[in-house]
Amino acid sequence: MDGTRPHRTNPLLRASLKRPNILITGTPGTGKTTTARYIAEATGLEHVSVGDVAKEKECFEGRDVELDTYILDEEKLLDHLEIILADGGKVVDYHSCELFPERWFDLILVVRATNAVLFDRLSARGYSARKREENLECEIMQVVLDEALESYEKEIVHEITSETEDDLQENAQRVKDWLTQWKVDCRDRVQKAEGMEE
Ligand code: DAT
């Protein structure tokens, strides 16, 4: 095999050199968007807000007036996201995670918040009492964390908090360290595969 261009012909090796996709999930108000933006800035990965993609590509089937939310056209949204995530290198944020194919993500960060912090943030957002209570209950019952643990390998699911500037820096550093290790693991995988090819 040509040592200077080892990955031209082997799709398996090419796939293993793809940059990772990271999903940042959690109850609304826990700090997903803030964290995702910060991490993207710190790592050079690209932030993808699933909510923004849904709006831009009009992935809605209507509006649930009672719940005060849009009804998502999941199939349409997933089709758009598949294209966006295909090359890797994305930091994706969304308040749910079970709708995505497991293979899309290499790391899942679940942002958690205390009741008091979430109450204040959702109140500041002008949520109705009902919507606020639903989200607070969702966080207390750790719905999104359980969803993540059921949908992905437990080893790649991590809980984080986002309340202070220090939290943002610390979380970004953790992701940077993880990316460094991820690259080392990729290189090892490629070298091993090359060894097996020879
Ligand atoms: P989400 O995307 O989960 O709905 P957000 O990122 O919009 O949440 O954050 C909700 C509010 O909390 C917003 O006013 C910004 C603030 N916030 C989040 N993380 C923070 C942090 N680490 N330090 C200070 N404020 C933060």
Q: Please indicate, yes or no, if residue 173 is contained in any of the structural domains.
A: yes
Residue 30 CA to ligand 1 center (angstroms) comes to 6
Residue 31 CA to ligand 1 center (angstroms) comes to 4
| Contact present, 6 and 140 (Cβ < 8 Å) | no
- What pLDDT, on a 0 to 100 scale, did the predictor assign at position 73? 96
- What pLDDT, on a 0 to 100 scale, did the predictor assign at position 16? 61
Q: Tell me whether residue 33 is annotated as binding.
A: yes
Which residue spans within the chain are E strands per DSSP? 22-25, 46-49, 60-64, 69-72, 90-94, 107-112, 157-161
Does the CB atom of residue 161 touch ligand 1 within 6 A?
Answer: no
Please name the residue whose Cα sits nearest to atom 9 of ligand 1.
31
- Domain of residue 191, residue span: 11-52+89-197
- What pLDDT, on a 0 to 100 scale, did the predictor assign at position 4? 43
Report the predicted TM-score, pTM, of the whole model to 2 decimal places: 0.90
* CATH number for position 46: 3.40.50.300
- Report the domain count for the chain: 1
For the chain, which ranges sit under pLDDT 70? Answer: 1-17, 197-198
Q: Please indicate, yes or no, if residue 181 is contained in any of the structural domains.
A: yes
- pLDDT tens-digit profile of 70-85? 899 999 999 999 999 9
| Contact present, 21 and 83 (Cβ < 8 Å) | no
Q: Tell me whether residue 32 is annotated as binding.
A: yes
